[in-house]
């Protein structure tokens, strides 16, 4: 394809730009020219030759149509964000994630809670899937039946647009899922495929017999070994095996088909015009299937993302992408753009390793594994940011690398088993209340469900009314969050954790939920707990105010900008994690004592960093080494040390 948009492409764009002002047309054309190479390279990698050329022309037409249709407020935001492309890396960013109905009933209810979110310091709101979904079990909305309709019980597209506007007016970016890997069995494409429509059948991976599925399954891991074993489902009406990575009613779409690409591109542009600012690219790792592989992280995935990203940069540059790729660190870094894709794919990605290591450190009261695993992570592009989180709507899988474990004298297998035992509360001394999710006898894996409060032992401590244990539980909860707030990137609080809500005891009662205990940690926000956040001394107040403080202090610390490198230092004490954020304005040293006792950090190391005396920005007081030249850290404490 030519280096610049050829005339047929310009004509495809111009058809949609007749009504826009000349200056806007010029802007569109300038963006098209700027991002054209990224778009073409992405598309041509996946769809070489003529299919790719046709697709590009169609995509540019769609981008022009979306551009022409863009609300003036959003067009203004596009402008502002192009002047400040680092906006999402700012330390003022704080995320919150919730199911709309569980947080506030429906979309209007969410809009009515905007003050609550602001009170917490939130600037980024991830609402879990809210588009039309199948009846009964729908994997929490991840089985979409129509990308252009809002779930009727939550509201309408007009409500979504109004909500996005309200949030925007309060400085909160709306984040939505783009479920790219699969649709519900009840989606119109799947319905048509079953009715014999060949064009729609080609939207899916369908096999007449088991030959291909068996070949693929030799190397495919299982996502839901417990309730959805295997990756293919026989369908009588199709008279074939359809690819279903997740549940049998979630049909993987076939991204090798350029029509599928065009469909999703149009969905994406449409939702961006409703006011979605961040797209969470759900299950992005799984898009490309290749025999003999795990069918995850294939290179085409990045080319597809690059092409979609280029399109948004042309039509709606206010938008950024977040990769939901829960994969090994070496694979993960590519989602943030490496090699030819540097700066061209997702802007954000989940930092699964930090999450896992937080839980591991708290259970083991030892940081050596975390230090090793986190210090050896590949560097990420400075234009991107992590999503850091203590937990999310999914279970926690113990992504502990055997090599990392061995390097610190542990057995990976035994440590993973320990963590499952600890967090399910069966290990002696543990008061955690997690539930085992998807036990896999073949691998020994036992993933864990549970709210943060239940996992840190706070649910148990409150039940037995043990004030000391309650205090320790609160300390652990805040420590875990302080690590995510100090890491760099966007820390995302999962709904209910800001009020220390325990597991939902009635999680199994709702239709379709009984088989999936992840619902235990997706509780409805409790109005009583919400009110108690303003009652001094209550657990809710202590936790909520603790998180507020993290958000407030973080916002004022330039060192916590996501572009500031994160360096995990080796410490003398196995109970203390030290993370350095070296910044031209002076360093910030985060010290984390994960143990239940006082622990030292050597004074000479502070002096080396110019941090004697230092100011603990979190607690807002001066700290200095004691007579023995150690800075002593109280149990379960985090310090954010900066110079005076």
Residue with tokens 């999503």: 387
Residue with tokens 């809009």: 111
Alpha-carbon distances, residue 50 vs 14, 260, 265, 578 (angstroms): 22, 16, 19, 54
- Part in contact with ligand GLC (CB under 6 A); list of ranges 79-87, 138-146, 167-175, 486-494: 138-146
In the residue annotation, 282 being an active-site residue is answered as yes
Q: How far is the CB of 386 from ligand GLC (least distance, A)?
A: 17
CA neighbours within 13 Å on the CB side: how many for 639?
Answer: 26
Specify the residue, 392 or 410, whose C-beta has the smaller distance to ligand GLC: 392
Q: How far is the CB of 509 from ligand GLC (least distance, A)?
A: 20
Q: How far is the CB of 64 from ligand GLC (least distance, A)?
A: 31
Q: How far is the CB of 145 from ligand GLC (least distance, A)?
A: 14
Restricted to residues 520-539, the positions that interact with ligand GLC (CB under 6 A) are none
Specify the residue, 67 or 507, whose C-beta has the smaller distance to ligand GLC: 507
Specify the residue, 348 or 609, whose C-beta has the smaller distance to ligand GLC: 348
Distance CA 616, CA 326 (A): 34
Q: How far is the CB of 187 from ligand GLC (least distance, A)?
A: 13
Residue 323's CB is within 10 A of a number of other CB atoms, namely 28
Q: How far is the CB of 137 from ligand GLC (least distance, A)?
A: 11
Decide: 555 and 92 in contact? Cβ < 8 Å.
yes
Q: How far is the CB of 177 from ligand GLC (least distance, A)?
A: 8
Using alpha carbons only, what angle is made at residue 41 by residues 293 and 43, rounded to the nearest 5 degrees? Answer: 65
Distance CA 125, CA 609 (A): 36
Site mask for ligand GLC (CB under 6 A), range 94-133, x = bound: ----------------------------------------
Closest CA to 274 of 382, 399, 160, 186: 160
Restricted to residues 160-219, the positions that interact with ligand GLC (CB under 6 A) are 179
Q: How far is the CB of 324 from ligand GLC (least distance, A)?
A: 6
Specify the residue, 202 or 223, whose C-beta has the smaller distance to ligand GLC: 223
- Part in contact with ligand GLC (CB under 6 A); list of ranges 75-83, 134-142, 465-473, 476-484: 134-142
Decide: 398 and 501 in contact? Cβ < 8 Å.
no
Specify the residue, 228 or 362, whose C-beta has the smaller distance to ligand GLC: 228
Q: Which of 35, 47, 142, 321 binds ligand GLC (CB under 6 A)?
A: 142
Class of residue 144 by CB neighbours under 10 A (exposed 0-12, middle 13-18, buried 19+):
buried
Distance CA 105, CA 351 (A): 30
**Site membership for ligand GLC, residue 371 (CB under 6 A):** no
**Site membership for ligand GLC, residue 283 (CB under 6 A):** yes
Alpha helices in 84-156 (DSSP H): 100-104, 107-112, 114-120
Distance CA 642, CA 644 (A): 7
Specify the residue, 280 or 344, whose C-beta has the smaller distance to ligand GLC: 280
Specify the residue, 303 or 392, whose C-beta has the smaller distance to ligand GLC: 392
Q: In the complex, which residue's CB is closest to ligand GLC? A: 142
Q: Which two tokens stand for residue 205?
A: 């991976």
Decide: 143 and 228 in contact? Cβ < 8 Å.
no
- How many residues touch ligand GLC under the rule CB under 6 A: the total is 10
The residues, any chain, with a CB within 8 Å of residue 527's CB and separated by 6 or more, are none
- Three-state SS letters, 282-324: ECHHHCCCCCCCCCCCCHHHHHHHHHHHHHHHHHCCCCEEEEC
Specify the residue, 177 or 266, whose C-beta has the smaller distance to ligand GLC: 177
In the residue annotation, 222 being an active-site residue is answered as no
Q: How far is the CB of 96 from ligand GLC (least distance, A)?
A: 16
Q: How far is the CB of 503 from ligand GLC (least distance, A)?
A: 17
Radius of gyration of the chain (CA): 25
Specify the residue, 32 or 253, whose C-beta has the smaller distance to ligand GLC: 253
Alpha helices in 47-172 (DSSP H): 50-69, 72-83, 100-104, 107-112, 114-120, 157-169
Q: Which of 5, 42, 140, 450 binds ligand GLC (CB under 6 A)?
A: 140
- Part in contact with ligand GLC (CB under 6 A); list of ranges 60-68, 135-143, 482-490, 574-582: 135-143
Q: Which of 38, 53, 101, 139 binds ligand GLC (CB under 6 A)?
A: 139
Residue with tokens 């975390």: 370
Specify the residue, 53 or 324, whose C-beta has the smaller distance to ligand GLC: 324
Decide: 127 and 147 in contact? Cβ < 8 Å.
no
Identify the H or E element spanning 619. none
**Site membership for ligand GLC, residue 282 (CB under 6 A):** yes
Residue 315's CB is within 10 A of a number of other CB atoms, namely 29
47-50 contact pairs (CB < 8 A, 24+): 47/258, 47/261
**Site membership for ligand GLC, residue 458 (CB under 6 A):** no
Using alpha carbons only, what angle is made at residue 581 by residues 578 and 582, rounded to the nearest 5 degrees? Answer: 125
Q: Which of 67, 124, 243, 246 binds ligand GLC (CB under 6 A)?
A: 246
Decide: 268 and 308 in contact? Cβ < 8 Å.
yes
User: Of 53, 324, 475, 616, which residue is the catalytic one?
Assistant: 324
Site mask for ligand GLC (CB under 6 A), range 322-361, x = bound: --x-------------------------------------
Specify the residue, 36 or 189, whose C-beta has the smaller distance to ligand GLC: 189
User: Of 53, 159, 277, 282, which residue is the catalytic one?
Assistant: 282
CA neighbours within 13 Å on the CB side: how many for 198?
Answer: 0
**Site membership for ligand GLC, residue 228 (CB under 6 A):** no
Q: Which two tokens stand for residue 231?
A: 């990756």
- Part in contact with ligand GLC (CB under 6 A); list of ranges 91-99, 139-147, 366-374, 411-419: 139-147
Catalytic residues: 282, 324
Residues in contact with ligand GLC by the rule CB under 6 A: 139-140, 142, 179, 246, 282-283, 324, 393-394
């Amino acid at each position: 394809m030519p280096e610049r948009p050829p005339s047929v492409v310009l004509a495809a764009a111009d058809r949609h730009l007749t009504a826009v002002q000349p200056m806007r047309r010029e802007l569109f054309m300038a963006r098209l020219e700027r991002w054209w190479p990224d778009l073409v390279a992405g598309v041509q990698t996946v769809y070489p030759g003529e299919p790719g050329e046709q697709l590009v022309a169609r995509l540019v037409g769609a981008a022009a149509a979306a551009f022409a249709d863009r609300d003036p407020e959003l067009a203004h935001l596009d402008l502002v964000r192009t002047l400040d492309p680092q906006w999402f890396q700012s330390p003022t960013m704080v995320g919150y994630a919730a199911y709309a109905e569980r947080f506030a009933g429906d979309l209007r209810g969410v809009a009515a809670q905007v003050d609550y979110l602001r009170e917490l310091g939130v600037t980024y709101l991830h609402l879990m899937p809210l588009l039309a979904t199948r009846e009964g079990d729908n994997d929490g909305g991840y089985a979409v039946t129509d990308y252009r309709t809002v779930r009727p019980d939550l509201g309408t597209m007009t409500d979504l647009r109004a909500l996005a506007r309200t949030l925007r007016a309060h400085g909160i970016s709306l984040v939505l899922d783009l479920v790219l890997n699969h649709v519900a069995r009840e989606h119109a494409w799947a319905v048509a495929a079953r009715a014999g429509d060949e064009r729609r059948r080609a939207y899916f991976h369908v096999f007449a017999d088991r030959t291909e599925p068996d070949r693929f399954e030799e190397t495919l891991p299982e996502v839901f070994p417990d309730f959805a074993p295997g990756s293919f489902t026989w369908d009588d009406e199709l008279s074939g095996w359809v690819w279903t990575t997740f549940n049998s009613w979630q049909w993987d779409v076939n991204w090798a088909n350029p029509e599928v690409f065009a469909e999703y591109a149009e969905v994406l542009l449409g939702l961006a015009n409703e006011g979605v600012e961040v797209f969470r690219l759900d299950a992005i790792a799984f898009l490309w299937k290749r025999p003999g592989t795990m069918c995850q992280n294939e290179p085409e995935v990045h080319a597809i993302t690059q092409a979609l990203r280029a399109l948004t940069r042309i039509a709606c540059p206010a938008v950024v992408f977040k990769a939901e790729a829960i994969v090994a660190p070496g694979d993960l870094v590519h989602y943030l753009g490496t090699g030819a894709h540097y700066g061209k794919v997702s802007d954000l990605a989940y930092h699964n390793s930090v999450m896992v290591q937080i839980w591991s450190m708290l259970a083991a009261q030892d940081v050596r594994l975390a230090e090793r695993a986190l210090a050896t992570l590949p560097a990420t592009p400075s234009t991107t940011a992590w999503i850091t989180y203590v937990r999310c709507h999914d279970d926690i899988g113990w992504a502990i690398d055997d090599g990392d474990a061995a390097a610190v004298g542990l057995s990976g297998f035994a440590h993973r088993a320990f963590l499952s035992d600890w967090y399910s509360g069966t290990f002696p001394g543990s008061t955690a209340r997690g539930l085992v999710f998807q036990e896999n006898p073949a691998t020994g894996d036992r993933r864990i469900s549970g709210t943060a409060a239940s996992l840190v032992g706070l649910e148990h401590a409150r039940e037995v009314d043990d004030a000391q244990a309650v205090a320790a539980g609160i300390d652990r909860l805040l420590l875990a969050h302080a690590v995510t707030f100090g890491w760099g990137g966007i820390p995302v609080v999962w709904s209910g954790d800001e009020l220390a809500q325990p597991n939902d005891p009635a999680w199994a009662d709702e239709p379709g939920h009984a088989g999936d205990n992840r619902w235990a940690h997706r509780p409805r926000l409790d109005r009583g707990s919400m009110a108690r956040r303003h009652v001094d001394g209550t657990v809710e107040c202590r936790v909520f105010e603790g998180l507020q403080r993290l958000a407030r202090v973080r916002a004022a610390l330039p060192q916590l900008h996501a572009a500031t490198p994160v360096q995990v230092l080796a410490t003398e004490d196995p109970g203390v994690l030290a993370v350095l954020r070296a910044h031209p304005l002076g360093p910030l040293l985060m010290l984390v004592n994960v143990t239940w006792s006082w622990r030292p950090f050597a004074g000479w190391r502070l002096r080396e960093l110019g941090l004697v005396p230092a100011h603990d920005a979190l607690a807002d007081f001066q700290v200095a080494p004691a007579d023995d030249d150690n800075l002593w850290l109280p149990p379960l404490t985090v310090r954010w040390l900066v110079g005076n």
